[in-house]
Each structure stands twice: as C-alpha cells, then as structure tokens.
Amino acid sequence: MSATRPHLSSPNRPRGFTLLEVSLALAASAVLLSAVYGVFSKAIHLRDDATERTRQSRARVRAAGILSDDLRNARISGGALAAVLQGSRDPQGGQFPGTLTLATTTARPGQDTPGGDLQQVHYFVADDTRQANAGVLVRTAQTNLLAPVSEEPAPEILIDQVTALEPGFFDGQTWTERWDYTPENPALPQAIRVTVRRSNGDAPLEITVPWTTQTIAAP
C-alpha cells in the first residue's frame, strides 16, 4: 500500500504584485511627485522674485547716487566749458517724457582718459525693446569738452521700468518744468528736483538739491 505525500507550499516562495497593488503604488507616486514639484516650483519662483527685488533695489540706489552726485556738483562757468543747463519734460527719441543736460564735476579721469573732472551729462528715457509700457533711464557723459569734433558718448542704462523723467526748477517763487540757460539768459534756479516715475509700483525716485553755483563771467 503506497502512502500519499501531501503537497506543502513553501513559506519562502516569492509572490508577485497584483495589478491593483501596482496601480495604487503608481497613483501614490504620482501624488507624491506632484507635491514635490509644486513645492520646488514655488521655491524657484520665490527665489527669482527675491533676486529681482534685490536687483531693482540696488539699481534704484545706484541711480539715485549718480543723479544726486551730478546735481550737487553741477557747474556754470559763464565760459564755453560749462555753459549748459537744460531740462524739460519733452520726450527725446522715444515715447517717454523727460530730458536733462548739465555740466558737472563728477568725471573720474584715469590714465586712459586724461583730463579734468568736468563733464557734460545728459539724462533721458529711451524705449525698452523688452516691454512697451516702460523705458529705461539713460545717462551719457561727455568728458572731452574741448574736442574739435564732438564724439557720441556711450549710453549707460541706470534703471529700467521707467515711465517718465520729470525735472523741476525752483526760480525762487515757484517750480517750473523747463529751464534753458544761455549767456543771453543767464538766470539760474535756486534748486533742482528730479523725479523718476516707474511702472513697477514702487514709489517715484525723487531727488531735490539746492543750486549753489553762481555764474562767473569768463575773462
């Protein structure tokens, strides 16, 4: 009589995943990856915003410093070297208003650019090819004022997102939006105010300085 041996299943035998288990695992992974991507994207967005705010703040401080230095050191000699003070809210070569030209002693001559500290600076708002609703505040500086042929100075962009450059001149009684000094009309303002308006929601950049230089008649 032969004995029948029972079939015993091994407890260590590997068991495969069911389709339901695989589907649940994939769904959980997708939810987890989506949450991670959302957190990562938000962090990148916050970082970019902070970087842009820092850049804008530094550009604003730098532009204010350059404008203030030029205005505080403005000169009128009565001769040919420093005989310019012009400003208005008319646009120049673009759609955004504002222009200011003056002579100032803020040049920094070096070995490659010998000369004195006197230069003629010009501010205006140029169109920005990156956006249509605002321009860029541009400054040019001409240092060689005795050159027989005037060279076009290289433009320097001080700050972007600018909608207007508004110069103001105090004549002792009221503020006026326009000034044009000439030897025939040698009147000078008692103070100058420059307001830079922007489209990014920041408060306007405003600088007011007294005019301290008196005209000295050329010999």
Is residue 43, in this structure, part of any structural domain at all?
Answer: no
Domain span at 187: 60-210
Q: Cβ-count burial of 11 within 10 angstroms (0-12 exposed, 13-18 middle, 19+ buried)?
A: exposed
Is 52 inside any structural domain? no
Residue 147 lies in a domain: yes
pTM above 0.85, yes or no: no
Q: Is residue 16 part of a domain?
A: no
pLDDT of residue 8 exceeding 60, the answer is no
pLDDT of residue 175: 96
Indicate whether 10 belongs to any domain.
Answer: no
User: Is pLDDT of 5 > 90?
Assistant: no
Quick check: 2 pLDDT over 80?
no
Tens digit of pLDDT for each residue in 97-110? 999 999 999 988 66
In this structure, is residue 141 part of a structural domain?
A: yes
pLDDT digits (tens, 9 = 90+) for 108-152: 866 455 557 889 999 999 999 888 899 999 999 988 776 666 677
Report how many domains make up the chain: 1
The answer to whether residue 13 sits within a structural domain is no
pLDDT of residue 170: 96
pLDDT tens per residue, range 40-58: 788 887 787 788 788 888 9
